[in-house]
Chains A and B, each alone.
Chain A
Amino acid sequence: GDSVTQMEGPVTLSEEAFLTINCTYTATGYPSLFWYVQYPGEGLQLLLKATKADDKGSNKGFEATYRKETTSFHLEKGSVQVSDSAVYFCALVASGGSYIPTFGRGTSLIVHP
Chain B
Amino acid sequence: DSGVTQTPKHLITATGQRVTLRCSPRSGDLSVYWYQQSLDQGLQFLIQYYNGEERAKGNILERFSAQQFPDLHSELNLSSLELGDSALYFCASSADRVGETQYFGPGTRLLVL
Contact = CB atoms under 8 A, between A and B. Distances in A.
Interface in B90-106: 90, 92, 97-106
A32 interface: yes
A98 interface: yes
Interface residues on A, range: 20 to 34
A44 B100 contact: no
Given A43-B2, A89-B43, A105-B42, A99 B107 contact: no
Interface in B1-59: 2, 4, 33, 42-43, 45, 48, 55-56, 58
Interface residues on B, range: 20 to 34
A65 B110 CA distance: 37
A99 B98 contact: yes
A93 B45 CA distance: 13
A99 B90 CA distance: 18
Contacts of A36: 104
Interface string A83-103: 000000100010000111101
A74 interface: no
A55 B61 CA distance: 38
Nearest 3 CB-CB pairs, A to B?
Answer: A43-B104, A44-B104, A105-B42
